[in-house]
Structure 1
Amino acid sequence: MTGFVISGSALAVEDSELDALFEGLRGGDPAAAAQIEQRIYDIWSKSGSPSMDLLLERGRKALESGDWKTAVEHFSALIDHAPDFAEGYNGRATAYFMAGQFGQAVEDIGQTLSLNPKHFAAMSGLALILQELGRPEDALEIWREVETLTPHREGLSQTILELERQVDGQTL
């Protein structure tokens, strides 16, 4: 990552923990899925730099308050200083999505997924955008990918079922 470094041994520990967490998501305990997802987000949110973490936090707070413009500014600053940190792109994609700027959101989702191919939240955002754009077949494909990573996600099976019916031409 530009501007800061996480030690190789710290990355290896996080990678092995992430592998175990993703295995836990695919496992049989739906009640634990939300907690496991939160732990994954916590790991993904560690940039290795307190100043980058502060930019991430400021962007997220701006999102929570509905200030999309400020959120984009914070996430853009984070991306400028840490272009290999997927959460900067993911946060900015969320801000763009909330502001109705789907093209820019899709671009940042693509960057998020190129840096973190298992980013099920970014995939979910892409699927939502595809649904908004009237592309249910494409959205269904993405939701199915999300399902392979986190099959117990609340509401996911219902979303997939509804899209399958829509794609198959059945009335919802």
Structure 2
Amino acid sequence: MLAMRVFIPLILACSALLATSTGAGNVSFAAEASTQPEATSLTTPKQRLDTLFADLKKERDPDKARELSNQIRIEWQDSGSATVNLLMQWADKAITDNKQPAALDILDQVIALAPNYVEGWNRRATLHYAMGNYRKSMSDINRVLSIEPRHFGALAGMAAILGASGKDELAMRAWEQFLDIYPADRKAQEQLGELAEKLAGSKT
């Protein structure tokens, strides 16, 4: 519940401020699939995720942290439904084939079938972003974070949209929350440092 209270103000602020978003560079909210094995010694996905997130928060070695983050992504990707998993594969194929409208239709079906499946929302957020639909992307990001407040990929997407639309202070807060979950990520560290320098310069 504490994590939810931390994220809700940022989510609400982003929704209010992004009525008119400008263009942004390429960003992916979900990283590539990993060959790392899943943490199978625990009995439920929630237990595995909680353990992986606890390890990720403590890990300071970037390479080891990346392995943990990839294991987390594997956990997120499995919906628990063979039908939904197949639809996600079809959506990925449509995206690869540059058939975005078809991919959106498939992801709409995924969300209708499994509204609590976090990667359905996250994948659609990424696709909306790639298509320039920033308000729709942010709406889906908000849904991702309401289901899984620790979703660092969605937080990275939120930070990218906010930064591109000139909301630097909110973008910095998003990166801070990202790094609270995944402190060893060097790109996030760099983004936060650049924003902090930019904001400090604007106040002098």
Q: Which TM-score bucket, shorter chain as reference?
A: 0.7 to 0.9
Counterpart-to-counterpart distance in 2, 1:36 and 1:84: 23
Give the corresponding residue for 1:130: 162
Report if aligned partners of 1:68, 1:96 keep a CA contact under 8 Å in 2. no
Structure 1 unaligned regions, length at least 5 = 1-10
Higher relative contact order (CA 8 A, sep 6+): 2
> What whole-Å deviation, never above 9, does each CA across 1:108-138 have from its counterpart, x for those lacking one?
1111111111111011101100011111111
> How many residue pairs are counted as aligned between the two chains?
160
Counterpart-to-counterpart distance in 2, 1:61 and 1:147: 31
How far the C-alpha of 1:62 sits from its partner, in A, is 2.8
Give the corresponding residue for 2:181: 149
Distance 1:153 1:60, change over 3 A: farther
Aligned to 2:44, the other structure's residue is in SS state: helix
Structure 2 unaligned regions, length at least 5 = 1-41
Give the corresponding residue for 2:91: 59
Give the TM-score normalised by structure 1. Answer: 0.87
Aligned to 2:150, the other structure's residue is in SS state: coil
Counterpart-to-counterpart distance in 1, 2:89 and 2:186: 25
Counterpart-to-counterpart distance in 2, 1:65 and 1:33: 32
Give the TM-score normalised by structure 2. Answer: 0.74
Correspondence for 1:161 among 183, 193, 200: 193
Counterpart-to-counterpart distance in 2, 1:66 and 1:99: 11
Distance 1:124 1:65, change over 3 A: farther
> What whole-Å deviation, never above 9, does each CA across 1:29-65 have from its counterpart, x for those lacking one?
3221111111101101111111100111222233344
Give the corresponding residue for 1:32: 64
Residue type of the partner of 1:137? E
Report if aligned partners of 1:90, 1:108 keep a CA contact under 8 Å in 2. yes
How far the C-alpha of 1:151 sits from its partner, in A, is 0.9
The percent identity for this pair of structures is: 31
Counterpart-to-counterpart distance in 2, 1:66 and 1:138: 32
Give the corresponding residue for 1:112: 144
Counterpart-to-counterpart distance in 2, 1:29 and 1:103: 35
1:92 corresponds to 2:124: yes
Counterpart-to-counterpart distance in 1, 2:80 and 2:165: 37
How far the C-alpha of 1:28 sits from its partner, in A, is 2.9
Aligned to 1:169, the other structure's residue is in SS state: helix
Residue type of the partner of 2:83? S
How far the C-alpha of 1:107 sits from its partner, in A, is 0.6
Report if aligned partners of 2:60, 2:183 keep a CA contact under 8 Å in 1. no
Report if aligned partners of 2:77, 2:119 keep a CA contact under 8 Å in 1. yes
Aligned to 2:186, the other structure's residue is in SS state: coil
1:139 corresponds to 2:174: no
